[in-house]
Structure 1
Amino acid sequence: MLTEVNLAFNNLQGSIPSSIGHCQNLLAMSLSHNNLSGPIPPQAFELPSLSIFLDLKSNYLTGGLPLTVEKLKNLGAFRVSRNRLSGLLPNNLGSCVRLEALFLEGNLFEGPIPSSLSSLRGLVALDVSDNNLSGEVPEFLVSFGALKYLNLSFNDFEGVIPSEGVFKNKSATFVEGNNNLCGGIPELHLSRCNSKTSSDTSLKLKVAIIVVILGVTLVFSCLLILWFRKKKEQPTTTCAENSILQLSYQSILRATDGFSIQNLLGSGSFGSVYKGILEESGAIIAVKVLNLLNRGASRSFLAECEALRNIRHRNLVKVLTAISGVDYRGNDFKALVYEFMEYGSLEEWLHQSINRNESGIMRNLSFFQRVNVAIDVAYALEYLHHHCETTIIHCDLKPSNILLDQEMVGHISDFGLAKILSSDRLNYSTNQSSSIGLRGTIGYAPPEYAMGSELSTKGDVYSYGILLLEIFTGKRPTDNMFKEGLSIHNFVEAALPEQVIEITDPILLQERARQGTFTEFTLNDKHLQHLNSIFEIGLTCSAESPTERMDMSDVVSKLCSIRVKLLHPTRVYRERQALYIAQSAGIQ
């Protein structure tokens, strides 16, 4: 006889029982923010009484959406965000004709958006971001008059973005991370589409194919000649399958003003990173030029190029292209081109000695910004450890390798050293990778690496634990106070739980008023409780024994739970906006 089940924000494990299908009077059910795993039982969708919401987000559910989803004809809101669901979106999802909010983001769905979704004309919010969806953006979304929030970000959509309906509202439409989209309103900053119609383009393509076939011998001969000449004169691109830029040594040279010292962003053992501006587009890029005189630099370049070309995540700095060839002097030249992060590194924001902008004004991260960055980094590591074809170990996690974009979103980078390991794909053993320096930085590298242990994901977890302690204490693990047996780990451990406020970064205890004065910001019991929890996660991750450390999936789950409790009822990031819109439409 249950009409509502709300078990959200617990630590429930195992699978959703099929017997849930016996609750034939359910109007609303939430099992979100738990540790539930396995497939969604078809019986969970065989509840025609469900009319308010079904919320399964932030778990570890796998498999596809059961075909029985078509029976939820009266459902108002459906959320399965941030799980591990995969496969095609079922065609009969369009049978849920009363849906007003559909949240599918943060999964592994693939293929196109089904045309059957055109029947969901009452949708107020639709979020399919952070999946592997492809194909063209459906035209029928233009006609959805009630649609106030549409997020298609970080998929593989292609083609023309409409300029009508919800698409003409920049604050309601999000399409970034789809490199093959064009058109739309200017505020979306997409490339221009060809003025020809799609039918003209198709016809032109057919004609071009015929011409190529007829002249294949001539074209092939010309390409061979050009290839040999180009190889002598300038670099050719490698890892081009996923590159969105085709750059030469000359274009990189001009973009960085001849690799001038004014454009130098930083240096590492294997190379230096420069800021560059491309002449044709005006796009700002970051270029890592390998120092090939250093032993292992070439192998490091190949390892990083191979590992990065098949990974994509919103919290990893994107590699735009790779270049390998010779420079004007005939010397070997290798470089990686990355997207540019406007707000620099986390290191610059955390520490007083360097966290001033060009005007000399202090810039500080608020408590909530630090929580968000910590979660961003955790998401990226979870992806590297669990969601790549082969496990990738970063091996050099530290604040200088965490970069922030204009929205203060954290991205893991590796500009100093090529630390990403993909042993199966490259046929390198972990010991071989270690031989080119993949052992991290003093203070962040796990103790077992110093004893010659092989690289592992638990090493990354240790570095993350130290990073988390640093973010909220404001102290580097190499601070002068940490000597004679004292470390940042046991410094925090000794203070918990009664002395949390004494180890917290003093900057977090004050906020800058708009007039330029400082006003005290007192941490209440709720903040202290959650700070305790965050420090405990950092301590567990940085435990001396690898077996005692947490898995990054558990870290993500616990930190997200803390963030939601901190901000409740406020929602974070764009989910806050989406849920507000959905609630305004009467969805619980």
Structure 2
Amino acid sequence: MQRKKSLFHRQTHYNMLLKATDGFSSRNLLGSGSFGSVYKGMLDGKMIAVKVLNLQQRGGSKSFMAECETLKNIRHRNLVGILTACSSIDFQRNEFKALVYEYMPNGNVERWLYDDRNLSLLQRLDLAIDVAHALNYLHHECGNLIVHCDLKPSNILLDNDMVARVADFGLSKVLSQPLHPNQSSSIGVRGTIGYVAPEYGVGSGASPEADIYSYGILLLELVTRRRPTDYMFKEGFNLHMYAKAALPDQVLQIVDSTLMEDESDDEAGEMEPRTQQAMLQKREECMMLMVKIRVACSSHLPHERMKINEALSVLLKAKNMLCSPRHRGNFPRGA
């Protein structure tokens, strides 16, 4: 689903963004990364997020260009929309580059997972479906093949309706044609430890399969609430192996315990024991299916990974399984 084009058409200058963010005040700082810091602000009566590039950091300018090139012609419900870019000079005559995005009021998925905000099973399933839609669009529907290269929970933002939006395309690659996963590339592909596909470590070029690996790890993290860099993962043992070893009979032992106590419990007391048991079984079957998909996406070998459209199809079936006719009306979000 494509989004409407930005309403911002005029050129944006440094002083405009300085004023919009109250002087890039620490009170408005949303977060910082390798290539810059993000501030919330107000421009023309609209809440915005301003990513100020750190041009002293190696790769900062390249990240700015990559993000501009990637985002200038793409629009999708599950991508954070870019409103405008700023290439200017500050009051000290230093080069200044920034990107202006739609503001996402509900922050990122990482904070929801680990700051005790308690995402329900249905919400996590919706997030998984949203990100799958975004990847399917980038890999197959937007004209050029776009590889994100840094998919992780902190790069998945949530709008006012808790719809997931993929963000931060600073490492993305626009490919005129797909590279074979084993084909080497002269362009160094970087990402985040724990989410980087194994083939990147041996110099393979950017590929959709590498994004699928990161997606699989992201989804395993959603279900288990364990980071891929958790202390228990060492000496060759990783999150993928942890989940795979639990299939098929021990899945409930590795999933986040709060998933067995989500929003449907409020109504459980009004149901007959048989109905309660049927709901519990549906939830368990859904979690089993979700773990299977995630393991299939994060296989070590690229050619063994599930295709994103296949993963999306199975996730939609899982949601249909979870949302019985009785409850479907309570959840207005659609896939």
Q: TM-score, normalised by structure 2?
A: 0.88
C-alpha separation in 2, matches of 1:179 and 1:323 = 15
Instruction: Please point out which of 129, 139, 146 is paired with 1:392.
Output: 146
SS of the residue corresponding to residue 185 of structure 2 reads helix
* Equivalent pair of 1:245/1:320 in contact (CA under 8 Å): no
Correspondence for 2:17: 252
* Equivalent pair of 2:13/2:88 in contact (CA under 8 Å): no
Instruction: Please point out which of 51, 57, 60 is paired with 1:288.
Output: 51
Correspondence for 2:172: 420
* Equivalent pair of 1:384/1:392 in contact (CA under 8 Å): yes
Does the C-alpha gap of structure 1 residues 269 and 562 become closer, same or farther in structure 2, counting only changes over 3 Å? same
SS of the residue corresponding to residue 76 of structure 2 reads coil
Identical counterparts, % of pairs: 50
Correspondence for 1:483: 234
* Equivalent pair of 1:421/1:433 in contact (CA under 8 Å): no
Does the C-alpha gap of structure 1 residues 310 and 433 become closer, same or farther in structure 2, counting only changes over 3 Å? farther
- In the TM superposition, residue 462 of structure 1 has moved relative to its aligned partner by 0.1
Q: Which amino acid aligns with 1:259?
A: F
Instruction: Please point out which of 327, 333, 343 is paired with 2:106.
Output: 343
* Equivalent pair of 2:187/2:205 in contact (CA under 8 Å): no
Give yes or no for the alignment of 1:494 onto 2:216.
no
Give yes or no for the alignment of 1:559 onto 2:315.
yes
* Equivalent pair of 2:212/2:297 in contact (CA under 8 Å): yes
Deviations 1:297-335 (A, max 9, x none): 212211210111110000000000001021111111110
- In the TM superposition, residue 500 of structure 1 has moved relative to its aligned partner by 1.5
* Equivalent pair of 1:423/1:430 in contact (CA under 8 Å): no
Correspondence for 1:329: 92
Q: Which amino acid aligns with 1:400?
A: S
Deviations 1:196-238 (A, max 9, x none): xxxxxxxxxxxxxxxxxxxxxxxxxxxxxxxxxxxxxxxxxxx
Deviations 1:402-427 (A, max 9, x none): 0001111000011xx602211449xx
Q: Which amino acid aligns with 2:170?
A: A
C-alpha separation in 1, matches of 2:50 and 2:333 = 31
Give yes or no for the alignment of 1:378 onto 2:143.
no
* Equivalent pair of 2:109/2:156 in contact (CA under 8 Å): yes
* Equivalent pair of 2:38/2:50 in contact (CA under 8 Å): yes
CA RMSD in angstroms, aligned pairs only? 2.3
Correspondence for 1:507: 258
* Equivalent pair of 1:286/1:338 in contact (CA under 8 Å): yes
- Unaligned 5+ segments in structure 2 are 178-182, 267-275
C-alpha separation in 1, matches of 2:235 and 2:140 = 38
Q: Which amino acid aligns with 2:80?
A: V
C-alpha separation in 2, matches of 1:575 and 1:489 = 29
Range with greater deviation from structure 2 (373-382 or 502-511): 502-511
Correspondence for 2:32: 267
C-alpha separation in 2, matches of 1:314 and 1:289 = 24
Instruction: Please point out which of 418, 435, 442 is paired with 2:193.
Output: 442
Correspondence for 1:474: 225
C-alpha separation in 2, matches of 1:450 and 1:443 = 12
C-alpha separation in 1, matches of 2:240 and 2:80 = 29
Deviations 1:361-389 (A, max 9, x none): x4211110000000000000000000122
Q: Which amino acid aligns with 2:303?
A: T
Correspondence for 2:214: 463
Range with greater deviation from structure 2 (253-262 or 365-374): 253-262
Instruction: Please point out which of 60, 64, 79 is paired with 1:316.
Output: 79
* Equivalent pair of 1:323/1:334 in contact (CA under 8 Å): yes
Does the C-alpha gap of structure 1 residues 318 and 573 become closer, same or farther in structure 2, counting only changes over 3 Å? same
SS of the residue corresponding to residue 422 of structure 1 reads strand
Does the C-alpha gap of structure 1 residues 179 and 322 become closer, same or farther in structure 2, counting only changes over 3 Å? closer
- The structure richer in helix per residue is 2
C-alpha separation in 1, matches of 2:69 and 2:292 = 36
Does the C-alpha gap of structure 1 residues 328 and 456 become closer, same or farther in structure 2, counting only changes over 3 Å? same
- In the TM superposition, residue 432 of structure 1 has moved relative to its aligned partner by 4.8
- The correspondence of residues 145-164 of structure 1 with structure 2, limited to 5 A, is 154=3
Structure 1 or 2, whichever has the larger Rg, is 1
SS of the residue corresponding to residue 294 of structure 1 reads coil
Correspondence for 1:406: 160
Does the C-alpha gap of structure 1 residues 289 and 320 become closer, same or farther in structure 2, counting only changes over 3 Å? same
Correspondence for 2:66: 303
* Equivalent pair of 2:184/2:203 in contact (CA under 8 Å): no
C-alpha separation in 1, matches of 2:146 and 2:184 = 11
C-alpha separation in 2, matches of 1:411 and 1:575 = 15
Q: Which amino acid aligns with 2:285?
A: Q
C-alpha separation in 1, matches of 2:333 and 2:128 = 18
Q: Which has the higher contact order (CA 8 A, sep 6+)?
A: 2
SS of the residue corresponding to residue 173 of structure 2 reads coil
C-alpha separation in 1, matches of 2:70 and 2:6 = 20
Does the C-alpha gap of structure 1 residues 268 and 347 become closer, same or farther in structure 2, counting only changes over 3 Å? same
Give yes or no for the alignment of 1:277 onto 2:42.
yes
Q: Which amino acid aligns with 1:555?
A: A
- Unaligned 5+ segments in structure 1 are 1-129, 132-153, 155-176, 181-242, 356-361, 515-520, 577-588
SS of the residue corresponding to residue 288 of structure 1 reads strand
Does the C-alpha gap of structure 1 residues 323 and 405 become closer, same or farther in structure 2, counting only changes over 3 Å? same
* Equivalent pair of 1:444/1:463 in contact (CA under 8 Å): yes
Correspondence for 1:92: none
Q: Which amino acid aligns with 2:17?
A: I
- In the TM superposition, residue 498 of structure 1 has moved relative to its aligned partner by 1.1
SS of the residue corresponding to residue 350 of structure 1 reads helix
Q: Which amino acid aligns with 1:384?
A: L
- Aligned residue pair count: 316
* Equivalent pair of 2:240/2:295 in contact (CA under 8 Å): yes
